[in-house]
A and B are shown apart, each in its own frame.
Chain A
Amino acid sequence: MATSESTAQRYTAQDPDVRLMLQVRDDNAAAFEELMQRYQSRLVSLLAHLVGRRDLAEDLAQDVFLRVYRARKRYVPGSKFSTWLYTIANNVASNARRGMARRKEINLVNKDSGEMSGNPLDAAALAASGLMPTRQLDKAELREIVKLAISALNERQRMAVLLNKFEHLSYEEIAEVMQMSPSAIKSLLSRARANLREVLDPYLQHGAPLDI
């Protein structure tokens, strides 16, 4: 979809990263490096949660930046820079997952097979572990439980949750990244959050010592 001039002007005025990207378009290497510095950790985090492997996430993040650089001459500010970047990241991650599936590589993140795609035994063990009232909620343990809960979401739910929670994207922006409608994102996020609650809440409510 063509971006109107007023839209481009609006995003250029509002988003400093868009202004940096316009400098990249003009072959400013320092601007490109600065954009990388701003987003590299966030991007690697996002991709690591998406694909489940830190090394692969770094490779994919490099691929994303490479695509940004290659696309620089065609860049028109039709949205926030982050939205554009995460759209590329989403495509790169999806391609990588498809490639891995074709090669039948082992993926630490669970395969998609429905609403709650994680290993049901893990999820049951997880829920049960939270029902023991005397258990102390250990930070490292909680982190593992949360990672497991996130990995149990299907790919689209996981992406929407990560963009919403950590990148603070609105439904409309997530919809743009994932090429879905905002109402579809609304349902996707509500199902994802219900799934997270189902797994985490018993643990959070009963796994910790009671606060008296």
Chain B
Amino acid sequence: MNNQSSSDDQTRQLEEIVAYLDGELSPQESAQVERRLASDETYRQKLQGMQRAWAALDELPAATVDDQFAQTTLELVVKTARSDVEQRTQALPVQRRRQRISTVLLVTAAALLGALVFRLAWENPNRALVADLPIIQYIDIYSQFHDVEFLRQLRQHLGAGHWSLDADAEQPTDHFDQFHLVADAEKRQAWLDTLEVDERVTLRAKFNRFRSMSEAQQDRLRALHQQIESEPDVIELQQTMLEYQQWLNDLPPSKQFELRETPRQKRVQEVVADVQSVDRSIELTPEELQRLFRAVRPYLPEMRERTRGGMPRRVPGRNMQDRRELLRVVHDALPEEKREQFDRLTPEEQWQHSMGWLRQARLRESDRRRPDQVSEQELEEFFVEEVDAATKEELLAMPRDKMQHQLRQLYRGNLPMRGWGMFGDQGERERGRRGPPPGMRERRGPHRFPEGPPRPPPGERPPN
């Protein structure tokens, strides 16, 4: 009896762990599992074992099939369709049967012809596909704006920099090189020949989309492409167009549609406002934080010594030197991918990130040593180094106990600061442009990390 009940418990536990990993539990059930994970080592080990085995399945080889498979299947389909028609019509009287056979064969032949024409277009790309390749390959972006002036205004406001900080995004130079291969009539064929099966499928889908457009729409896209090519600032316009495309890729289709329908001037304003408000935060994993803290720790006592002495004071020359030194050490301690993101930040943002990371690392360290305790010294340093001017002002106006409590909450990240930055005036200045315009977007960004992965979107391809 007991054995049976224990086995049932085991089964329930197993199902619970698997459903948790698959994201199939309710929020309450997930919270229960997480509490148990925090306190039950055996349970955690079971879950980790499941995760490891599940991740190992990525090693299973994925099959790819070539165009030959599609061709054979199509031929098979046509053959079967014909034989189905013959079978179905055998029972009919001769007169009606002949009539029916001829009608259905005509339909089948038309479908076959459609497929063959399509295949011819693919196999002999010197026809429609190659002629319109730049527009077909970049149909998403060409469909998103109506005139060259839009690109020019974006360029004026946003300059030549890379808009997106998404580490997964294609490098702008790669993107631009590819555009030129596609745009160059002499190099298109060679580019087509290098495409993988998946890329050809995507191109084929775009080709179908282009062909489903009206003649007038197709002509509009062709004219837009030609117009850009003929402008004196063609390079800048194309770069801006590609940047705009990458930026748009992060928006949901509904928002892309909305933007497409917005008048040019207002659209430019919205895009500029959003690009400038991109969340440029970089998050570090616990291991990366620890590595960073180890690298920076030797420098801290000396710096602390120089800034000690009560309330915040700024000694520009020396502090700037310390700051540069610290930023260099932080830079060197970062993993390569995050180092690149770090390099793209302004010096103020770099400093802000560095202080935030050090605080997180100290917090983790102090939690490890003395849970729920933060030393007065740490709080003081935090107040001096990281709290922005507006928040300081508010804190200093509070009774001492309340101030300490609030400061601890801020330190642990449980409360937001008034200004985002930590440089007093700089924080105040920055505050105005932080945060996206209402309803603008949920952006993908460099701060996505693989902890507790959500379910991948349905319909994605299996790993290769």
Question: Which of A29, A61, A191, A193 is within 8 Å of B54, CB to CB?
Answer: A193
Tell me if B24 and A196 are in contact (CB < 8 A).
no
Tell me if B457 and A33 are in contact (CB < 8 A).
no
In the complex, which residue of chain A has the Cβ closest to the Cβ of B51? A197
Question: Which of A28, A41, A49, A61 is within 8 Å of B60, CB to CB?
Answer: A49
Which one of A88-96, A115-123, A199-207 is at the B interface? Answer: A199-207
- Interface: B435 (CB within 8 A): no
Residues of A within 8 A of B455 (CB): 168, 170
The answer to whether A200 and B56 touch (CB under 8 A), given A168-B456, A171-B22, is yes
- Interface: B41 (CB within 8 A): no
- Interface: A147 (CB within 8 A): yes
CB distance from B180 to the nearest CB of A (A): 27
CB distance from B211 to the nearest CB of A (A): 8
B411-464 interface with A by 8 A CB criterion:
455-463
Contact with B along A57-87 (1 / 0, CB 8 A): 1100110011001100000000010100000
CB distance from A2 to the nearest CB of B (A): 24
Tell me if A28 and B114 are in contact (CB < 8 A).
yes
Q: How far is the CA of A99 from the CA of B17 in the complex (A)?
A: 37
Question: Which of A40, A48, A189, A196 is within 8 Å of B70, CB to CB?
Answer: A40
- Interface: B223 (CB within 8 A): no
Tell me if A30 and B70 are in contact (CB < 8 A).
no
Residues of A within 8 A of B303 (CB): none
Residues of B within 8 A of A190 (CB): 11, 14-15, 17-19
Which one of B75-83, B184-192, B240-248, B292-300 is at the A interface? Answer: B75-83
Residues of A within 8 A of B198 (CB): 41
The answer to whether A150 and B458 touch (CB under 8 A), given A29-B111, A32-B77, A44-B65, is no
- Interface: A113 (CB within 8 A): no
CB distance from B126 to the nearest CB of A (A): 20
- Interface: B112 (CB within 8 A): yes
* Interface SS of B by simple majority: helix
The answer to whether A197 and B459 touch (CB under 8 A), given A29-B115, A45-B63, is no
Number of interface residues of B (CB under 8 A): 56
- Interface: B310 (CB within 8 A): no
- Interface: B401 (CB within 8 A): no
Residues of B within 8 A of A165 (CB): 54, 57, 462
Tell me if B77 and A30 are in contact (CB < 8 A).
no
Tell me if B52 and A45 are in contact (CB < 8 A).
no
Question: Which of B62, B73, B208, B460 is within 8 Å of A36, CB to CB?
Answer: B73
Which one of A4-12, A100-108, A138-146 is at the B interface? Answer: A138-146
- Interface: A22 (CB within 8 A): no
Question: Which of B57, B459, B460 is within 8 Å of A150, CB to CB?
Answer: B57
Q: How far is the CA of A70 from the CA of B54 in the complex (A)?
A: 37
Tell me if A41 and B63 are in contact (CB < 8 A).
yes
Tell me if A65 and B14 are in contact (CB < 8 A).
no
The answer to whether A197 and B59 touch (CB under 8 A), given A166-B462, A168-B460, A190-B11, is no
Residues of A within 8 A of B458 (CB): 80, 82, 167-170, 173
Tell me if B70 and A33 are in contact (CB < 8 A).
yes
- Interface: A112 (CB within 8 A): no
Tell me if B63 and A33 are in contact (CB < 8 A).
no
The winner among B49, B50, B119, B456 for most chain A CB atoms within 10 A is B49
The winner among B17, B59, B72, B111 for most chain A CB atoms within 10 A is B59
Tell me if B69 and A40 are in contact (CB < 8 A).
yes
Residues of B within 8 A of A127 (CB): none
- Interface: B197 (CB within 8 A): yes
CB distance from A45 to the nearest CB of B (A): 4
- Interface: B204 (CB within 8 A): yes
Contact with A along B40-64 (1 / 0, CB 8 A): 0000000001101110110111111
Show 19 A/B contacts (Cβ-Cβ < 8 Å), sorted by A: A30-B118, A33-B70, A36-B74, A38-B201, A40-B73, A41-B65, A41-B461, A44-B63, A48-B63, A61-B65, A80-B458, A143-B59, A145-B56, A147-B60, A170-B455, A193-B18, A193-B54, A204-B52, A204-B53
- Given A33-B204, A62-B73, A205-B52, 4 further pairs, Cβ under 8 A: A29-B111, A66-B80, A145-B56, A196-B54
Name A's B-contacting residues (CB within 8 A).
15, 17, 27-34, 36-38, 40-42, 44-45, 48-49, 54, 57-58, 61-62, 65-66, 69-70, 80, 82, 139, 142-143, 145-147, 149-150, 161, 164-171, 173, 186-187, 189-191, 193-194, 196-197, 199-201, 204-205
Which 3 pairs, one residue from A and one from B, show the smallest C-beta to C-beta distance?
Answer: A166-B462, A29-B115, A190-B18
